[in-house]
Structure 1
Amino acid sequence: MDSIRLADLVRHHAQMTPDAVALVFEDRETRFATLDRQANQIANGLIAAGLHPGDRIAFLGKNSDLYFALWLGAAKAGAVLVPVNWRLAPPEVAYILSDCAPRFVIADPAFVDRLEPAAAYVILSTDDAPAWRDAQDDADPRQDAGYDDPVLQLYTSGTTGHPKGAMLSNRSLLALRQQTPDALMPTWNRWSADDVALVAMPVFHISGSGWGLWSLQHGGKAVVVREFDPHQLFDLLTRHRITKIMMVPTAMKILCDHPGAADADFSFLHTICYGGSAIPLDLMRQAIALFGCGFAQMYGMTETAGTVVGLPPEDHDPQGNVRMRSVGIPLPGVSVRVLDEAGQEVIPGAIGEIAIRSPSTMTGYFNRPDATAETLDAQGWLRTGDAGYLDADGYLYLADRIKDMIITGGENVYPAEVENALYSHPHVADVAVIGVPDAKWGEAVKAIVVPVEGASPEPAALIAWARDRIAAYKAPKTIDFRDSLPRNPSGKILRRVLREEYR
């Protein structure tokens, strides 16, 4: 059982429940038998075009049913799918494609102009992909990658330098659930063929790909939306009778304030999962009263293939409680430690770096053995870079982010990326980037700039400069100017001091 691989899932459901709907996308339904056949055709088309096991296939596009068929087809051909964040600036896209060296790139027509015309990879438009797919043989090639071989490569931003490709194997994506009997899985995290999941988070995140995979893994129905629009959530929920949804608190607030929400029947909704930040208590009360379903906070990261710790519904109290300040307890099969600077485990209540061991952990960073060794040790413990502590009951609390990461609207932004973009402006002598509280997005990106002597740069010009070089959501929303930045004796910018000033 524990050696079942990604493509085996669709094979199984195509045989057992061929007419069950696997994917809904706009006005199109795809049943499991059709999805299995499409995956076969894609795999054979890739192999016929010269693909070899272990080759990378990049996807540059918004959410679609084609993405999941492509992922399963790549898996049947032994390839690794690399979904690329379409919100990135062209230089960022170019770096990822250069790093992963894909054999093929499947791209939405709107993003084809971001690709190099003379590049080594073959470019296929998503508009042309269905006709290309349907012209291929539909026999199963059964060229699947091994259980410990990667089938998905997601790029995660770093504190410095370029993003790294976290390689997720069949084991990473499937073992945690395969090795845990359903009866031992927390009720909020159990899935069945009766579930209808809304895949609204982007597939270039583990939150999008993983959420869709969980639905497919259990024979459920995944309703895929091209791009997340919280203002459409109400209609999607009620029309498709969604049972499971994952969203950030910002979207939950918009849904709660929808004019039709108060009179709607949400009895079909079983679980709302959320992450990225804690839900304000007033919003939690409003949501519990409106939806009447279970709420679960999730903690995880790309390198752990998503959720490894969760705060269950029974710990969500409308009156508030201490545990609601935590991110919850480890899932079955997951171990969590908190380590000091020497790598030794600390006592409950003491703050240190969070380390996780799980069968879902990545196999490593693509072509980054040094970075892999710094993050993942020989015993399988992954250093998260997050600071926190465990209480006596095993609940995990986040104390701060060692890496100074900013979470804005559910997106991760690392200050170094933004600072590097601004440093290249001729009128910027020094810069520090922090997250500041924001009522809508949770945190907003702010830059504190020291101008070059004699220069008087305009904030709008600096923001535009950054947006040309990095994704728009990473660019600062506001810029302040000052004569100097606080630094420690070794010269490191004290972002903590700056955050305290603005909080």
Structure 2
Amino acid sequence: MRTTLGAEFTAAFERYRDRTAVEAGGRSWTFADLDRWSAAVAAQLQGLGVGAGDPVALYLGNGVEFVVADVAVARLGAVKVPINTLLPADTVRYIVAAVGARVSVVDPSLGVDVPGRVVPVDDLAEPRAVPAPPLPSVGPDARAAIYFTGGTTGKPKGVVHTQASVVALHHAQLLEAEIVQHDRLLLTTPLAHAAGLFAQSALLRGATSVIEPGFDADAVLSALRGRGITWTFLVPTMLYRLLDLLDGPEAFGLRTVVYGAAPITPDRLARALDVFGPVFVQLYGQTECPNWGTRLAKDDHDPARPELLDSCGRASIMADVAIVSDRFDALPAGETGEVCLRSPYVLESYLDNPSATEEKFLPGGWIRTGDIGFLDTEGYLHLRDRQADMVISGGMNVYCREVEDVLASHPAISQVAVIGVPHDDWGEAVHAVIVGSVDVDEVLAWSRGRLAAYARPKSAELVDDLPVTPFGKIDKKVLRAPHWAGRERAIG
């Protein structure tokens, strides 16, 4: 049985050699092409001292080079560290230093001076017939990847996953995302996030990844109409952009649309089903349990059953879901508490952070999500609030404390609290509540260049003081209440 990602890729290259693996930038590459190219890059990295267990940072935009470097890292038994290109430069440098990257594969056009040994993307070895480095003797418990949470500014946490966890994730993902060999996956979201995991799954299954540099609604519609796309991943904001361009039903060849990060509003869902048909699958997970904690299946996307559309589905095929009290006792159906997940693809640990790791885990292999919700009598998970101080806007995690730290450095702001407020397209938008003598529009403009685009406040308000709890903490439930009044969910 194959228990490492490198072994899985090697088997796929042997099985699907003549099939098209990747299309990008007007070119295509077969599995045999990727085999040769990734072997050459693996040999190149090995020549720079990369071996099993060594972290390799990938700071690249969407393109075939990301996939090649990704596979090369896996073939060496090294540890992949993908870095979102939307992050501020200081955060990028922090991540590279925090993991102790042996080498970073970098696109210099991104304009960030990455510390340590760097391989510019244009200097990656060319595809050629060189012997692939032998598969390393790493076991299923060896590290395979470190993903970073948050990262608007400050110090995000590194989430460590093992070889066993990433292999298990892909086995679950192939089933839950319904990826099959003849699929052509259109990937427009960052490969450093969920799209990269979908590209990996596609390789393991013999499917084709059609990679675009980013999301453009017109380009996506063109691809859906003329490039034989059968599968894609969207956040709801992207789906809304597509619906805005369409007048009615159209005969797309789409079989599956996976979406996540926020639910689709009922009216938009009804229109999406009318336009695209019954193709939607919703995922719910987090970096610590990627993608498939729960799944809302295609059959569940039924406007006649609004109680299902309020949920994010039932436990995925390789996951368990439980609701616990503040004392961590299991709660029965209908009672609200913290959502906990258990699966073979939960994190091993937080990087160099034993206290956070200890806080994350409960006995029995369960992890705490920080989300508040309940399970109904049929096992559907309904989210109601977010215990962790985080906003999910357009599918991107924004950690409020990190945004607050930036805004608090403004000389005219004495106090600030950041919350998520409802947004029809993004699910939630970042909103700042400010105490100080400052112009709101000036603050919004000032935040540009200091925060990633998705993390900047989209609105702000001035108040005389911030409400506090009996324990002296800022009471964000009070701040959120008027914005979420009349809604069952207190999150997007």
Instruction: Answer yes or no: same fold by TM over 0.5.
Output: yes
1:152 lines up with 2:145 in the alignment: yes
* Corresponding residue number in structure 2 for 1:78: 77
State the match for 2:490 in structure 1. none
CA distance in 2, matches of 1:33, 1:160: 41
Q: Shift of residue 23 of structure 1?
A: 0.9
Task: State which of 158, 181, 187 in structure 2 corresponds to 1:199.
Answer: 187
1:245 is aligned, of 232, 236, 242, to: 232
Q: Tell me how far apart the structure 1 counterparts of residues 139 and 79 of structure 2 sit (CA, whole Å).
A: 12
Distance 1:396 1:502 in 2: 23
Indicate if the aligned counterparts of 1:337 and 1:354 stay in contact, CA closer than 8 A.
yes
Q: Is the 8 A contact 1:76 1:144 kept in 2?
A: no
**Letter of the structure 2 residue corresponding to residue 94 of structure 1:** R
Corresponding position: 1:141 with 2:134: yes
Distance (whole Å) between structure 2 residues aligned to residue 62 and residue 416 of structure 1: 27
Q: Deviations over 1:334-358 (max 9, x none)?
A: 1111111111101111111111110
For 1:497 and 1:263, the matched residues in 2 are separated by 43
Residue aligned with 2:38, SS:
helix
Shift of 1:467: 3.0
Alignment of 1:293-312 (within 5 A): 293-312=278-297
Deviations 1:252-290 (A, max 9, x none): 12212225x647421x21111111211111111111111
SS at match of 1:140: coil
Give the alignment partner of residue 115 of structure 1, picking from 113, 116, 122: 113
Give, in whole Å, the separation in 1 of the partners of 2:29 and 2:91.
33
Percent identity over the alignment? 34
Counterpart position of 2:487: none
1:478 to 441, 459, 469: 459
Q: Does 1:438 align with 2:423?
A: yes
1:290-334 Cα distance to aligned partner (Å, 9 max, x none): 112321111011111222211111111133421111100111221
Structure 2 residue identity aligned to 1:17: Y
CA contact (8 A) 2:249 2:275 kept: no
* Counterpart for residue 450 of structure 1: 435
Instruction: Return the alpha-carbon distance in structure 1 between the equivalents of residues 328 and 291 of structure 2.
Output: 24
Q: 1:271 aligns with which of 256, 264, 274?
A: 256
- In the TM superposition, residue 35 of structure 1 has moved relative to its aligned partner by 0.8
Output the CA distance in 1 between the equivalents of 2:429 and 2:208: 35
2:128 and 2:76 mapped to 1: Cα distance? 17
Residue 461 of structure 1 deviates from its aligned partner by 3.3
> Structure 1 residues 467 and 159 mapped into 2: Cα distance closer, same or farther (>3 Å)?
closer
Equivalent residue number for residue 127 of structure 1? 122
After superposition, the Cα gap between the structure-2 partners of 1:426 and 1:179, relative to the gap in structure 1 and judged at 3 Å, is closer
Deviation at 1:361, TM superposition (A): 0.9
Q: Please say which of residues 370-379 and 418-427 is displaced more in the overlay.
A: 370-379
Report the Cα offset of residue 105 of structure 1: 1.4
Matched-pair contact (CA < 8 Å) for 1:44–1:136: no
Gaps of 5+ in 2: 485-492
**Paired positions, count:** 484
CA distance in 2, matches of 1:391, 1:262: 35
Distance in 2 separating the partners of 1:144 and 1:84? 27
Paired with 1:480 and 1:94, the residues of 2 have a C-alpha distance of 33
CA distances 1:458-499 after superposition (whole Å, capped 9, x unpaired): 334323443333212101112211110111121111111111
Written as runs of structure 1 = structure 2, the 5 A alignment for 1:215-226 is 215-226=202-213
Letter of the 1:273 partner, please give it.
Answer: V
Matched residue, 1:393? 378
* Cα shift at 1:137: 3.4
What is the TM-score when the length of structure 1 is the normalising length? Answer: 0.91
Equivalent-residue separation in structure 2 for 1:363 and 1:396 (angstroms): 25
Instruction: State the alpha-carbon separation in 1 of the partners of residues 152 and 94 from structure 2.
Output: 16
Does residue 61 (structure 1) correspond to residue 54 (structure 2)? The answer is no
CA deviations over 1:420-448 (Å, ceiling 9, x no partner):
11111121110011111223322211111
Distance 1:58 1:159 in 2: 18
Counterparts of 1:433 and 1:179 in 2: how far apart (Å)? 36
Q: CA deviation at 1:145?
A: 3.6
Provide, for residues 170-226 of structure 1, a one-character-per-residue CA deviation record: whole Å limited to 9, x for no partner.
22222255489x8xx56xx33221111112221222x11211122112111111111
8 Å contact kept, 1:160–1:416:
no
Q: Distance in 2 between matches of 1:345 and 1:309?
A: 18
Secondary structure of the 1:238 match is helix
**RMSD value over aligned CA atoms?**
2.1
Which of 203, 212, 217 does residue 199 from structure 2 map onto?
212
Paired amino acid for 1:280: T
User: Is the Cα contact below 8 Å between 2:166 and 2:345 reproduced in 1?
Assistant: yes
1:255 and 2:250 equivalent? no
Aligned counterparts of 2:281 and 2:341: Cα–Cα separation in 1: 20
SS at match of 2:133: coil
1 CA distance for matches of 2:137 and 2:184? 28
Deviations 1:35-56 (A, max 9, x none): 1122211111111111232111
Aligned to 1:489, the other structure's residue is in SS state coil
Give, as a single letter, the amino acid of the residue that structure 1 aligns with 2:60: G
What do residues 64-115 of structure 1 show as CA deviations (whole Å, max 9, x unaligned)?
111111111011112111111111112222221221121111111222x322
Q: Offset at 1:419?
A: 0.4
2:450 corresponds to which letter in structure 1? R
Q: Aligned-pair distance for 1:125?
A: 1.6
Matched with 2:395 is 410
Q: Would the aligned equivalents of 2:61 and 2:191 in 1 still touch at CA under 8 Å? A: yes
Which position in structure 2 is the counterpart of 1:360? Answer: 345
Contact map agreement 1:275 1:410 (CA 8 A) in 2: yes
Offset of residue 158 of structure 1: 7.9
| Paired residues of 2:36 and 2:127 also in contact (CA < 8 A) | no
Secondary structure of 1:81 counterpart: strand
In structure 1, distance between residues paired with 2:264 and 2:31: 36
Query: Which SS does the other structure have where 1:114 is aligned?
Result: coil
The answer to whether the Cα contact below 8 Å between 1:9 and 1:216 also exists between their aligned partners in 2 is no
Contact preservation (8 Å) 1:269, 1:293: no
What TM-score comes out, normalization by structure 2 length? Answer: 0.93
Q: Are the equivalent residues in 2 in contact too, given 1:336–1:356 (CA < 8 A)? A: yes
Equivalent residue for 1:462?
443
AA in 2 matched with 1:321: P
Q: What amino acid sits opposite 1:471 in the alignment?
A: A
How do 1:5-16 and structure 2 match up within 5 A? 5-16=4-15
Question: What is the aligned partner in structure 2 of residue 50 from structure 1?
Answer: 49
Q: For 1:282-321, list aligned pairs within 5 A.
A: 282-321=267-306
What residue identity is the alignment partner of 1:50? G
Whole-Å Cα distance in 1 between the matches of residues 171 and 250 of structure 2? Answer: 37
Q: Give 1:146 shift.
A: 2.4
> Partners in 2 of 1:160 and 1:198 — Cα distance?
30
Mapped to 2, the partners of 1:328 and 1:263 lie a distance apart of 26
Alignment correspondent of 1:381? 366
* Secondary structure of 1:347 counterpart: coil
- SS of equivalent to 1:470: coil
Are the aligned partners of 1:168 and 1:305 in contact in 2 as well (CA < 8 Å)? no
CA 1:14–1:431: 2 relative to 1, 3 Å: same
CA distance in 2, matches of 1:464, 1:444: 16
